[in-house]
A and B are shown apart, each in its own frame.
Chain A
Amino acid sequence: METTTQPEAEHGGHHDDHNHGHAEQSFFTKYIFSTDHKVIGIQYGVGSLFFLLVGFILIMGMRWQMAKPNTPVPVLGPILEKVYAHEIALDGEGKTVPIFKDGKITASGYNQFGAMHGTIMVFLAIVPLGFAAFGNYIVPLQIGAPDMCFPRVNMASFWAFFAGCTVMTVSFFIPGGAAQAGWTSYSPLASVIPTDGQTYWLVGMVLLITSSLLGAVNFIATIIQLRAPGMTWFRMPFFVWAQFVTAFLLLLAFPPLEAAGVMQLMDRVCDTSFFLPSGVFASGTEPMNVSGGGSPLLWQHLFWFLGHPEVYVLILPAIGMVTEIISNNTRRPIWGYTLMVGGILVLGFLSFIVWAHHMYLTGMSSKIATFFQTTTMIISIPSVILLTCLFMSLWRGAIRFNTPSMFALAFLPMFGIGGLTGLPLGFNFTDLHLHDSYYVIAHFHYVVAPGTIFALFAGIYYWFPKMTGRRMSEHWGKVHFWGSLIFMNVIFMPMFIQGFAGMSRRMSDGGATYSMINNPDVTSGALTDSVINMNSMITMGAFGMGLVQVVFIVNFFWSIRNGEKINDDNPWKATTLEWQTPTPPPHGNFLTEPKVYRGPYEYSNPDIDNGEDFIAQNDPYKSASEEQKEAEA
């Protein structure tokens, strides 16, 4: 630590003063078209946090409409009506039909919101936040690199992402509104849907995929090429390993979706029939006027070939962050580091051969279903290994219960619930009943929302001091944590019950159409009152959740200027390299090229007697036993 740390006053604010052989940058090249990985990371972070909020607002509107069908949405409703006032479409006889009327979200509006909620949350919020933002900021620092391998490609990646986000956002305001075919965009529906939203969605996806590909190439090349001297593969922090595997998943799984997107674009623009079988009926009594011969299953295969690795793209960076934070806050080395690395590599490989477990209900043959349910069961093994290692790491640790640590600890059971409830969906015979029900919603939200998002919050609280030189408020952080934990469970736990009761996941009225009240002559199969009434509870939970996030947002912005200043570059007493640089790190990251002498989790090592309970990776300290060994050699 003593090799690089400088007092705060010397470098605060003027990090360009460090002599690193680069020219003075203008504001434009420094903050807008920057090639510095830290600035790009922050750009990604701000952008994706914004879209996290947008996705959340969309779901709040949907939840309101489900809890109270036929009631105008407060606040959002009038805005929607204003925004979509000119989006009135003409029907055949010149009559006008608004998409949002009387402040209510119509079924078609609900479809738009649902499709865009999924798309925004997955492709515009979580992946850019977990992979691109944290990866960009942290990975080069942790491996001791001056920057990413290809800084300009990095910038191109961000601007492709920006263009993709713009296209997606603009699609809300075109006639007919945004995409309506769900975030999975299943053909033939997505191919024949007449509004232009789907075309915008596809163009936006191609841009986002390009961005991810450029990012993935850059990450892998950086990790392979730019590791500091002494940073061997097994001295890399686990977060870097997680990003490495994630980058490979993005690199190899995204191109098939790009191909599929191009094909669907051809279907929509050039009237081809890649995904339209012969004699498909869109509406009316005549089959569609297309050449036919396509295969709707082809889309699903290509989509889920991306879609399943994508799940691991969402979760692996989160696990990486949690590992860092748990190790740091339990003051213990990670239990089974090599095991975890092996597990994550196996997980990465297996995630490519489980995709069709999303497709049991498509009429695939039972033989292929058997294959995929087997691989699905196998992939749960490395997941459990990762989780178990993290739990074992807690054992006999002196846990510091600060905000990042609490979020990271809450991640473990939440992700556990999400993972375990996935097993019934992985089996063919149980999935037939649970498919497309609220059970599925609850399952994957437990993985992604209280799972990944908690880890991301933990990461924000943990690395905030590195980025700004100030801590976020602990007190409000804890309020944020407990509120989020409670409301997350209020939202998603009842959904398991709704799913078991047979509630379908795509009902704009919250299932009222299928309720017992509306179907008095049906004696079984209708949704009972108690199931329907859970909607209001979930909605209340969602609004409570929104309230708690306000605390976070205020805390975040307030702390940038007014947070408690850290008086040390290493406020968490961490071992990894990103804490051994000035805060915030200068352009070029390290004052002298770091040299790595030991593994990433040297906490509470009894051999090391340096007056602390940790030792930094670049600390050339030699313990007595090591010196003895060297002398013997």
Chain B
Amino acid sequence: MEIPYYDKERPDTGLYNGKAGIWLFLASEVMLFGALFSAYVLLRVGAEPGTWSMGLMNQWVGAFNTLILIASSATIVMAWVCLKLNDWKGFRKWKWATVVFAFIFLIVKWSYEWPAKFTHYDVTFVTNESAAKVYTDVLGPEFLKTQPTIWQKRFDPLKKDEKNAPASQVKLKDKPLDGHIVGYIDSEGAKHEVGAAWGIPFWSHAFAWRHDRKNIEKERDKSIRYGEDGRPVYKEGHFRDTFRDKDIKAIIFVPAHGTWDHKEKHADSGTVKYAEANHDGGHAHSDGHGYTVTIAREDISRLSSYEPAHSTFFATYYTLTGLHALHVLGGILVMLYHLLPVSRRVYEKNPVQYTNRIEITGLFWHFVDLVWIFLFPILYLL
């Protein structure tokens, strides 16, 4: 039994089966990513002022990845054209180029972008006073003049009124300080180093995932608890707090440059101590070159790295890019299969069928590229 039109086109529809199938599949993919995009818009428009943590992305890396993916999209269509011209060598060349580009995309994402975020922390403070203490330490006594611009990029541009608020109205305790944890001080005053692995700051192992002051005071149980009536007691029991069982009095923190992108522009409006530290080349080095600040555990109301639970922005970011990365991975697997010797035999037996397969893979790959074309501006730029 043979399925008709599996390699040639049906005259009245002008399609072979695989092409009809892949376009339908892509339609459902449009709906999948469309739903996530809609969720992004809805959450962003509904976000409370100052909670949409935009502008923390490394835009250069994002742009680099965009160009890589575009290039791979062009190479895969070249591979298909080569097949059409019966040029097997050319096909392999372009196909391998596509696979390599796709791998570069994934490597950049999995080994640089995401790990760098997982070790990059935001600290919010218990009171305005404790926040002011730390910020004065970081930015010098005149930081109050500059502070509206400090968080500029952290505010959602939609919420204009918050951005232009006078300095006295900004609640310092809600404004996170971001940077890397390079060590901590225990109850006996001894310093411990954490951080850099293999000398690369962003590889520093995740020392703390999340810490929340509210939970220190409460004895919490990870297991499910049931009340008298047999119903479960809804507690935030499964939310993690990595500080809970550790002997930590204070953390040693290196503020990062993410927040202070505009320091040069506003250099005249205040002495920014951190800028000097940054010019020294201090990033998150544990050897003391960077400018470090000690933050007492009692002063921290929330500590979170840029993990999905950090904020709804990062939740959306990881879900969208994660799903996209899964598509890239799937594409790579299929393309590698097409480069195996077994596929060569398919080509020799039925070149039309093989070319169709490459075309279908290409259509999927272009869709993956299309998704990224939209992801890049909405996640990195806007």
Contact = CB atoms under 8 A, between A and B. Distances in A.
Contacts of B27: 251-252
Given A21-B1, A91-B225, A258-B32, A291 B232 contact: no
Contacts of B33: 259
A302 interface: yes
Contacts of A89: 223-226, 232
Interface in A20-34: 20-22
B4 interface: yes
Contacts of A311: none
Interface in A281-339: 282-284, 286, 288-295, 297-298, 301-302, 305
Contact of B308 (A192, A272, A295): A272
Contacts of A272: 308-309, 312, 314-315, 319
B36 interface: yes
A146 B4 CA distance: 8
Contact of A271 (B21, B228, B231, B239): B239
A251 B24 contact: yes
Contacts, number: 214
Interface in B314-334: 314-316, 318-319, 323
Nearest to A274: B315
B374 interface: no
Given A255-B29, A271-B309, A272-B312, A293 B48 contact: yes
Interface string A606-625: 00000000000000000000
B28 A213 contact: yes
Contacts of A295: 42-43, 46
A149, A213, A293: which has the most chain B beta carbons within 10 Å? A293
B311 A147 contact: no
Interface string B339-367: 00000000000000000000000000000
A99 B230 contact: yes
A273 B24 contact: no
B74 interface: no
Interface size band for A: 35 or more
Contacts of B307: 270
B378 interface: no
Nearest to B15: A225
A516 interface: no
A273 B226 contact: no
Contacts of B13: 224-225
B221 A92 contact: yes
Nearest to B22: A217
B17 A294 contact: no
Contact of A302 (B21, B39, B210, B309): B39
B230 A260 contact: no
B229 A587 contact: no
B47 interface: yes
Contact of B32 (A22, A255, A292): A255
A146 B1 contact: yes
A108 B226 CA distance: 10
A253 B34 CA distance: 11
Given A106-B230, A226-B4, A271-B240, A217 B43 contact: no
A262 B214 CA distance: 29
A216 interface: yes
B304 interface: yes
A294 B312 contact: yes
A549 B1 CA distance: 39
A518 to B, nearest CB: 17
Given A151-B3, A587-B1, A97 B236 contact: no
A431 to B, nearest CB: 23
A209 to B, nearest CB: 10
A420 B238 CA distance: 46
A298 B1 contact: no
B5 A266 contact: no
Nearest to B29: A255
A481 to B, nearest CB: 38
Given A176-B224, A286-B214, A289-B212, A108 B230 contact: yes
A81 to B, nearest CB: 13
Interface string B2-28: 111100001001011100110011011
A554 interface: no
A259 B36 contact: yes
A560 interface: no
B104 interface: no
Given A175-B224, A259-B39, 7 more contacts: A221-B20, A270-B315, A274-B39, A289-B239, A291-B309, A291-B312, A295-B43
11 contacts: A89-B223, A97-B226, A193-B232, A218-B21, A224-B20, A225-B16, A226-B3, A258-B35, A272-B309, A278-B48, A291-B304
Give 8 nearest A-B pairs by CB, closest first. Answer: A272-B315, A256-B35, A255-B32, A588-B1, A259-B35, A255-B31, A282-B234, A271-B309
